[in-house]
Structure 1
Amino acid sequence: MQDAGFVRQAFAGIASRYVLANHVLSLGIDCLWRRTTARRIQQLKPARVLDLATGSGDLTQAVQAACPDAKILGADFSVPMMREAQKRGLRALVAADGMNLPFQDASFDVLTVAFGLRNMASWPTALQEMSRVLRPGGRLFVLDFSIPRMPGLRQAYLFYLKHIMTRIAGWITGKREAYVYLCGSIEKFPSGKDMNALICANGFQTATATPLTFGIASLYEAVK
């Protein structure tokens, strides 16, 4: 279980520098990951998309660019983060907690969550809510960090997470403690087959995992 109060406070504290920190810490590769996700969604030609934990709206923008005819709604429980999304021109936004979404059953064709499920209070409860608001046959896309399995790269990446990334992020945002939590949560978050099993145990029929950039991130696609 994640501490929802701490997570809310942490994101409020880094909201204004969140996008810059992401781009610096990933060397801009996070933009490529979002475009990859958007291209997958484009093939489905969805009418209604929910971007949960939308934050500053990076994935919402990528999906809107790929699917200009779709109605895309961004939802997040951090109002300061959504204010950053508004500054970037996003208007279809709603304050919502992933544990209790304010939408009717089967409301969306596609639901996306990028770097957000990991921070929700209960992963199973959040996934069940995502399944509820998706129509039968709807698709879930989860984009998040993962730990590379290649031995040498794995150790190097863990060292980067624990000793380098937190310092750089702290310098950029002035909130190192927030990134100590965020970086630590990556190692605890299930990935690969474990994440597929978690998704399928909570409202989805099938799930596949696609490693991105040598497994530093993974894209999960599931069918309700």
Structure 2
Amino acid sequence: MQTVASDSGTKKGQDASFVRKAFASIASRYVLTNHVLSLGIDVIWRWRTGREVAACQPQQVVDLATGSGDLAAEIQRRCPDAAVLGVDFSQPMLMEARKRGLTQLVVGDGMNLPLQDACADVVTVAFGLRNMASWPDALREMSRILRPGGHLFVLDFSLPKSGLIRAGHLFYLRHVMPRVAGWLTGERAAYEYLCGTIEAFPSGEKMNAMICENGFEKSDAAALSFGIASLYHARKAG
């Protein structure tokens, strides 16, 4: 298992080259594997994120690390009059997104987006910030493409605070998930890596602080499903 996270867990993200290869190798089985590994709960997490995005009444939404397009499709369903653009650095993943009827898709790196300043009302990223090479740099890039007063939604895995639930979840991440995912995709090493990133990724108040230090004036965290995932909602100053 590889990791390049810093000791503080807030400076550096992941090995971008490895992540690119990993997602390319699992693209065709990614959605099925997610649903199996989460017992379908990931659908509820995206449903809630889409509901909160819709409450902002956006006209321009950019979904970063859109992957197979699950969240972008949910947002488009809830915001039929909004332009929803999906961005991902993996062409094979974008090919999966097209199968969901998404047409506004762009190949792009979250660290250097091919988008103009202040072009979006809302930026979303689901299970993608964790895999970027530098979390602070990625957040500043998200702030750059947001209009003043725009909203950021970050949905990602986290670790439960409760000792018993946390211990059980860590066992699942370390020993169960990679085996099941390896059986479903034939790429166990990719999931060993991705599962390992969850432990290094900051959550709760640490994530709120990092978001506010990199282009946003306020960030709130909502723990989902006993804290195995978290939804962060931040706003750009202005």
What secondary structure does 1:137 align onto?
strand
C-alpha RMSD of the superposition: 0.5
1:86 pairs with 2:102: no
State how 1:1-224 maps to structure 2 within 5 Å: 1=12, 2-224=14-236
Partners of 1:212 and 1:69 lie apart in 2 by 28
What secondary structure does 2:101 align onto?
coil
Partners of 1:178 and 1:129 lie apart in 2 by 26
Q: Which runs of 4+ in 1 moved over 2 A?
A: none
Partners of 1:78 and 1:119 lie apart in 2 by 12
Give 1:87 shift: 1.7
| Percent of pairs with identical residues | 66
Partners of 2:80 and 2:228 lie apart in 1 by 29
Give 1:90 shift: 1.1
Q: What's the TM-score once normalised by structure 2's chain length?
A: 0.93
Give 1:8 shift: 0.2
List alignment gaps of at least 5 residues for structure 2: 1-11
List alignment gaps of at least 5 residues for structure 1: none
Q: Deviations over 1:135-186 (max 9, x none)?
A: 0000000000000001100000000000000000000000000000010000
Partners of 2:16 and 2:156 lie apart in 1 by 18
Q: What's the TM-score once normalised by structure 1's chain length?
A: 0.99
